[in-house]
Amino acid sequence: MAQDMRVLRSLFEDSAINEIMVNRYDQIFVEHNGKLEPTNIQFDSEQDLYRLIEELAHQRGTILSNKQPFLDTFLEDGSRVNAVIPPMSVDGPALTIRRFSENPFALSDLISLQCLSDRCAYFLQLCVHAKTNIIVSGGTSSGKTTLLNVLSALIPTDERIITIEDTPELNLVHSNWVRLESVPNFNENSITIRDCLRNALRMRPDRIIIGECRGAEAFDMLQALNTGHDGSLTTVHANSPRDCLARLESLILASQDYPLTALRKQIVSAIDIIVQVKRDRSGERRITDILELTGIEETVITTQSIFEQDDMEVAEVNGLVPQIMSAFQECGLKIPNNFFDPNTYFKPKPS
């Protein structure tokens, strides 16, 4: 831990703290068990906070200046760090630290936290094993990366995985795993997510996992999924499955001129399901929808909701049988009778 990070030591020792937000040297908030709370911890001066940020930048090989008044990096424990200094930040330097558990969540943990039901967990496990292409959609701090990590852990260990991220956050147990990372300032150039994705296609991947699609790489991802790289995963920042589709279109059209109908056909051909995660007012994170892309009619993408939020706020089946059942059957995966009947109780047998 950096020398000046000792001020925050007690916060790092509390496993219930997910995020540390230093708004000013004398104003520090945390997200504790999903809720924002002020603390009585502070740095002695603005200069002490600035010194810490400079040290973190130095470890990253970056020099902060008026031309580059921000920093994205990570700590040795994998925690993600963002820092800003004037002139970008008006009231002095600010620091945000997103913490990650040393022991990544498993699907059973998300069930215990009531993030999803047993039936939903079973369905997602089948989707991963059947190599369906999945987008995890959600807003800020909704749990997208956590769910992406959980789904990634379900990939069979004999497959080769290439992960592509802005900041390393995924923590897989697979031995045949290569991590690629974008570098904003590399020898006066940039190594982008798009560069990483294009290179990953030459690395004989069984699965490609992109931490978040937020730019021109979205089109390359669609192309990759349409040329045999099934079973891939990514996240998109959106507040609903339909917003996710619109966001995907916007990302692609912002980078190149492409006929909208042709683009939507590409999307339907490439993406199988969208899993929507949300964080409610109490701080709880839940899967609220699982949407299947079913086709295109004229210029409109058709979909059907397989799981949707019920009165208990947990996503459950609504009686519709997904088209990807055929993919499950081709892989020899078994689905219990009446699995998609909402009136049928489901509890998986111990393995």
What is the spatial distance between Cα 275 and Cα 303, in angstroms, rounded to a whole number?
A: 13
Q: For the chain, how far is it from start to end, CA to CA, in angstroms?
A: 41
| Structural domains present in the chain | 3-98 (3.30.450.370), 107-330 (3.40.50.300)
Phi-psi sector, 141: left (phi>0), alpha (psi -120 to 50), beta: left
Angle of the 217-225 helix axis to the 260-270 helix axis, nearest 10: 60
DSSP 4: G
Per-residue pLDDT of the chain (351 residues; tens, 9 = 90+): 455 688 999 999 898 898 999 999 999 999 987 788 999 999 999 999 999 999 998 887 888 888 889 988 888 877 889 999 999 999 999 999 988 766 778 999 999 988 999 999 999 999 999 999 999 999 988 989 999 999 999 999 999 999 998 877 888 889 999 999 888 765 667 888 889 999 999 999 999 999 998 888 888 888 888 877 899 999 999 999 999 999 999 999 988 888 999 999 999 999 999 999 998 877 788 999 999 999 999 899 999 999 998 655 789 999 999 999 999 999 999 888 899 999 998 888 765
Rounded to whole angstroms, the Cα distance separating 303 from 324 reads 12
Pairing of strands 285-297, 300-309: antiparallel
